């Protein structure tokens, strides 16, 4: 039987979502805890592979097991895993429901603090240079008119296509002056959001104009885009699925 997990994590201490040889990952933590509770090896597949230091307010993963999961699964998992990871729900899904491929969209936020904030250290990028948010929003809107985002992808990445359908991209300025970049698409390339944000900050500083931003996208050349901003400001906040995926969902107490 296939199950979906809903979880969240602060990514500061981890080398990303995906299990790897050179550092501790969120996937490894969850798989180890599941194996302990279910008393058998478990492999999970996430909705996406967040990079080292990136956070997730909502992440989904699936795993398979021959028997029904015990009612105490969530309680036991949350006792075993560190405080910077939480599992909120576990529910059965159809055999062909896939955490990655069935997802219809992912929604990220990138948070910028305009002053040093000790209470949000590791959760925001502190950037104090003057910015034109209006100009950044004009450039961000141009993302909706393109589909090939090779210019914003890490160079060494194994993908069949650089095409993404972006349905939302804009900056929100809070009353405090802090900024949140919202972006939602069917899929994202490795490093894509952080490089888009870095390039938009160059627009906001008047080092690039909107026409330059368009030309960078059309060039399909990563060397022309801006620097990727630090991972600490980035969070995966929502993953969407067809409503049928949640037919058997029972919220945790």
Whether 9 and 116 map to the same domain: the answer is: no
Whether 199 and 154 map to the same domain: the answer is: yes
What is the C-alpha to C-alpha distance for residues 30 and 33, in angstroms, rounded to an integer?
A: 5
Whether 26 and 54 map to the same domain: the answer is: yes
pLDDT score of 85 more than 90 = yes
pLDDT tens for each residue of 116-139: 999 999 999 999 999 999 999 999
pLDDT score of 251 more than 70 = no
pLDDT score of 52 more than 60 = yes
Specify the pLDDT at position 125.
97
Specify the pLDDT at position 157.
76
Whether 87 and 131 map to the same domain: the answer is: no
Instruction: Name the domain boundary from 48, 82, 102.
Output: 102
Find out whether 106 and 236 touch, Cβ atoms under 8 Å: yes
Average pLDDT value for residue range 235-249: 93
For residue 87, the enclosing domain spans 2-102
Residue 226 pLDDT class (50, 70, 90 cuts): very high
What is the C-alpha to C-alpha distance for residues 202 and 196, in angstroms, rounded to an integer?
A: 10
Whether 53 and 140 map to the same domain: the answer is: no
pLDDT tens for each residue of 147-197: 999 999 988 777 889 999 999 999 999 999 999 999 999 999 999 999 999
pLDDT score of 215 more than 90 = yes
pLDDT score of 253 more than 70 = no
Q: Which residue has the higher pLDDT, 183 or 250?
A: 183
The one catalytic residue among 51, 66, 89, 97: 51
Whole-prediction pTM: 0.94
Domain count, the chain: 2
- The answer to whether 96 is a known catalytic residue is no
Specify the pLDDT at position 156.
74
pLDDT score of 3 more than 90 = yes
Residue 249 pLDDT class (50, 70, 90 cuts): confident
Residue 241 inside a domain? The answer is: no
Whether 203 and 218 map to the same domain: the answer is: yes
Residue 24 pLDDT class (50, 70, 90 cuts): very high
**CATH number for the domain harbouring residue 225:** 3.30.70.660
Whether 61 and 84 map to the same domain: the answer is: yes
19: tokens are 């299990």
Residue 252 pLDDT class (50, 70, 90 cuts): very low
Residue 139 inside a domain? The answer is: yes
What is the C-alpha to C-alpha distance for residues 11 and 151, in angstroms, rounded to an integer?
A: 26
Specify the pLDDT at position 219.
96
Specify the pLDDT at position 155.
83
Instruction: Name the domain boundary from 56, 82, 102.
Output: 102
| Arithmetic mean of pLDDT over the chain | 95
Specify the pLDDT at position 248.
77
**CATH number for the domain harbouring residue 14:** 3.30.70.580
Residue 250 pLDDT class (50, 70, 90 cuts): low
């Amino acid at each position: 039987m296939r199950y979906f997990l809903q979880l969240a994590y602060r990514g500061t201490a981890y080398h990303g979502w995906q299990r790897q040889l050179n550092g501790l990952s969120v996937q490894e933590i969850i798989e180890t805890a599941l194996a302990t509770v279910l008393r058998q090896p478990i492999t999970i597949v996430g909705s996406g592979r967040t990079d080292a230091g990136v956070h997730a307010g909502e992440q989904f993963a699936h795993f398979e097991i021959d028997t029904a999961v015990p009612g105490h699964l969530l309680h036991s998992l949350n006792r075993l895993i560190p405080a910077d990871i939480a599992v909120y729900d576990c529910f059965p899904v159809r055999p062909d429901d896939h955490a990655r491929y069935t997802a219809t969209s992912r929604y990220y936020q990138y948070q910028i603090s305009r002053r040093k904030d000790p209470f949000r250290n590791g959760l925001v990028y502190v950037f104090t240079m003057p910015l034109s948010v209006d100009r950044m929003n004009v450039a961000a809107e141009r993302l909706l008119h393109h589909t090939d985002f090779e210019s914003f992808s890490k160079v060494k990445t194994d993908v069949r296509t650089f095409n993404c359908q972006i349905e939302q991209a804009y900056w929100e300025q809070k009353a405090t002056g802090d900024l949140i970049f919202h972006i939602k698409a069917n899929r994202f390339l490795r490093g894509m959001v952080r490089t888009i944000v870095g390039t938009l900050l160059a627009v906001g500083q008047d080092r690039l104009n909107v026409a330059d931003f368009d030309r960078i996208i059309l060039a399909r050349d990563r060397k022309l885009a801006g620097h990727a901003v630090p991972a600490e400001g980035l969070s995966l906040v929502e993953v969407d699925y067809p409503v049928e995926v949640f037919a058997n969902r029972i919220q945790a107490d």
